[in-house]
Amino acid sequence: MTDRIRVLIVDDQELVRLGFRMVLDAEADIEVVGEAGDGAAAVAEVRRLEPDLVLMDVRMPEMDGIRATELVVALRPDTRVLVLTTFDRDEYAFGALRAGASGFLLKDARPAELADAIRAVHRGDAVVAPRVTARLIDLAAPALEPTGRDDTVLAVLTDREREVFQLMAEGATNGEIAGRLYLSESTVKTHVGRVLRGLGLRDRVQVVILAYEIGAVKP
């Protein structure tokens, strides 16, 4: 049996935490190792428990999820953060993505979607459906602050890798990229890895954010 994915649940509502725990406790490959009710407690628990993944709420007292995400990623780069959002209200959750979170999960997600999201992020896919992240960033694009970067940052990529970068930024899955570029999925996976390493990015979420910042994708 493979090692289970160790998850820390962070939300200021006890009933929400209980609901997530009940769902995840039913999954053979996922283990809830702890809970926290605010960002400061989350950082302390990450330091103590060293989880594989944190389910992070955004709106919390004491310390919000954005600041907590930043501290968690700095403390343990190998710990992934999956942001919990209400989709239509938490546009500022994009601050958590910039802080290093690996994706979004809707709070009203079905149990199977929750488990699948955790598995996807844990294996490095970053988001369950890349186009969902693209759509979320599209909705919140007006709130993204200019960084002064332009497309010269892509100079480190080959022509093929730039094509892959563009399709990733548009929310295409590996399978869709393979179909568009007439490549095998294994070849696409290799290109995706080179794009991430070449640009110094953690995952697809940061690819989408960078694409908006440099104008490769527009709202």
3-state secondary structure labels for all residues of 61-115: CCCCHHHHHHHHHHHCCCCEEEEEECCCCCHHHHHHHHCCCCEEEECCCCHHHHH
What confidence tier does 132 reach under pLDDT thresholds 50, 70, 90?
Answer: low
- C-alpha angle 8-9-15 in degrees, rounded to nearest 5: 150
Q: Does residue 138 form part of some domain?
A: no
Q: Is the pLDDT of residue 127 over 90?
A: no
Residue where one domain finishes, among candidates 98, 128, 158: 128
Whole-angstrom Cα distance, residue 216 to residue 136?
A: 16
Q: Is residue 181 part of a domain?
A: yes
Domains contained in the chain, number: 2
Those residues with Cβ within 8 angstroms of residue 44's Cβ, 6 or more apart along the chain or in another chain: 36
Amino acid at 175: G
Percent over 90 (pLDDT), the chain: 50
Higher pLDDT: 58 or 219? It is 58
| Residue-number span of the structural domain to which 30 is assigned | 5-128
Question: Residue 10's pLDDT is what?
Answer: 96
Q: What is the mean pLDDT of residues 70-95?
A: 79
- CATH number, domain at 160? 1.10.10.10
**136 pLDDT more than 80:** no
CA distance linking residue 128 with residue 116, whole number of Å: 7
Q: Using CA of residue 12, residue 14, residue 20, residue 24, what is the dihedral sign?
A: positive
In one-letter notation, the amino acid at residue 126 is: A
Which of 92-106, 147-161, 184-198 is predicted with the least confidence, judged by mean pLDDT?
Answer: 92-106
Please report whether residue 31 resides in a domain.
yes
- Kindly compute the dihedral angle of the four CA atoms of residues 49, 87, 141, 165, in this order, to the nearest 10 degrees: 60
Residues 185-200 have pLDDT tens digits of 999 999 999 999 999 9
Same domain, 88 and 155: no
Predicted confidence band at 144 (pLDDT cuts at 50, 70, 90)?
low
Output the pLDDT for position 207.
Answer: 87
Statement: the pTM of the whole predicted model exceeds 0.75: no
109 and 156 in a single domain? The answer is no
Element holding 8 (H helix, E strand): strand 5-10
Pick 151 or 194 by higher pLDDT: 194
Q: What's 27's domain CATH number?
A: 3.40.50.2300
Listed residue (78, 85, 131) closest to 100, CA to CA:
78
Question: For residues 163 and 115, what is the distance between their CA atoms, to the nearest angstrom?
Answer: 31
| Domain shared by 56 and 120, yes or no | yes
pLDDT band at 203 (very low <50, low <70, confident <90, very high): confident
